[in-house]
Amino acid sequence: MPRDRYTIGEDLGQSSDPTAIAVVRRVQPDEEIRPIYEVPHLERLPLGTTYPGVIAHTKRLLTRPPLHRAELVIDYTGVGRPVFDMFLASGLSPIGVSITGGDAVSNEGLVWHVAKIVLVSQLQALLHDGRLRILNTLPDATVLKAELQDFKAEVTDLGNWKFGARSGKHDDLVLALAIALWRACGSEVFASWVAYYGREVRRARGEFPPLKAAPLPAVEPPAAVVTVALHAPQPYQTYAPAAGVRYSSDGTGIIVNVDQAHVGPLIDMGCWRILTPASSGSTQLVSPTPGTVRLRGKPHQMYQPVTGTRYTADGNGWFDAAIEHVAGLRRGGCELVTE
């Protein structure tokens, strides 16, 4: 097993829950040392984000080094096969996790059936062992901590385990993190989880003093990486500007989050730069975060690429659009503003 690898876990949202994303980095500097699991990225997409929108966002994540080599794991439980097939049809290669009762783990092709007690016990064991480290500066770190505190385990009258958030609370980030950790842990064994949850249930009944909430362990923030967007000659093409580095253009020919060191070689391959908006209101070459590019249409013209989304060009005909809307806007006569 590689000593350092990334796994992306996604708990896909439905009508009342947002899609949650957690990135886990497995670090094992030496075979004699038990691995550490770091969480450098947490994210909740806006409530109501469509599944095609989630897929487009996931593909953008997977173009960002070092996540271009990450394994993608999605919660297959609530959305079922049709949504899973949408990920496959988009060119992604996810692993599906169907969360079940009991305590068994089995698989059917790309889909694994994993007991919820296995997912939760691994997360809790790593927390108590000090081997799960979450970046304190992440915007959603406090949300994850609150979800962990609201997450409960109890035994039903029939003697079955029941896990989940307390009434009125969410557990989206917890589940996204749990499935990412389960995949990242691989064959690592976590023993005595039944005894652990037995103690938790007895503690909830007042037989033990309550646990004190421990502060989240700190992780050094990753170094900032300046990236740019490029336009490729062809859509759905893969480019290798350096050994072991690959970028893929999307359906509109756009490559996002390109490291500065790879811009020159990609331009030599026929790609060209995209101008994206700067904070000052002028234009310069910057990262396309949060996923916008600059287009040119007719001055003061309104454009509606999809129902419910409108863009209005300024006096020069320029406006900034989300990448997933570029194809429709270009069909409507707009042009990319390029260098």
pTM: 0.55
pLDDT digits (tens, 9 = 90+) for 48-58: 888 898 999 99
- Rg of the chain taking only CA atoms, in angstroms: 22
Between helices 172-185 and 116-129, what is the axis angle to 10°?
Answer: 80
Q: Write out pLDDT tens, residues 207-225.
A: 555 444 444 445 455 444 4
Q: Above 80 in pLDDT, residue 4?
A: no
**Model pLDDT for residues 226-237, shown as the tens digit of each residue:** 567 787 888 778
Q: What is the pLDDT of residue 136?
A: 81
pLDDT greater than 70 at residue 316 = yes
d(CA 140, CA 227): 23
In the chain, the domains with their CATH numbers are 4-204 (3.30.420.240), 227-336 (no CATH)
Predicted confidence (pLDDT) per residue in 160-198, tens digit: 545 554 444 567 898 999 999 999 987 665 544 545 555
Per-residue confidence band for 302, with pLDDT thresholds at 50, 70 and 90: confident
Which of 43-47, 124-128, 252-256 ranks highest by mean pLDDT?
43-47
| Cross-strand bridge partners of residue 333 | none
What confidence score (pLDDT) does residue 265 get? 84
pLDDT tens for 229-277 read: 787 888 778 888 888 788 887 777 778 777 777 887 887 787 877 654 4
Distance CA 303, CA 331 (A): 11
What pLDDT does 96 receive?
Answer: 93
- Which pLDDT does position 126 carry in this prediction? 86
Q: Which of 6-20, 136-150, 183-197, 314-328 has the lowest mean pLDDT?
A: 183-197
* In the predicted structure, residue 94 carries a pLDDT above the cut 90: yes
**What is d(CA 214, CA 22) in angstroms, rounded to the nearest whole number?**
21
- Mean of the per-residue pLDDT values of the chain: 75
Sequence-distant (≥ 6) Cβ neighbours of residue 323 within 8 angstroms: 56, 60, 250, 252, 254, 256, 288, 291, 292, 293
Mean pLDDT of 13-21: 84
- Residue 185 phi, psi dihedral angles, 5° rounding: -70, -25
The whole-number average pLDDT for the span 127-147 is: 85
Confidence of residue 74 (pLDDT cuts 50, 70, 90): very high
- Which pLDDT belongs to residue 6? 93
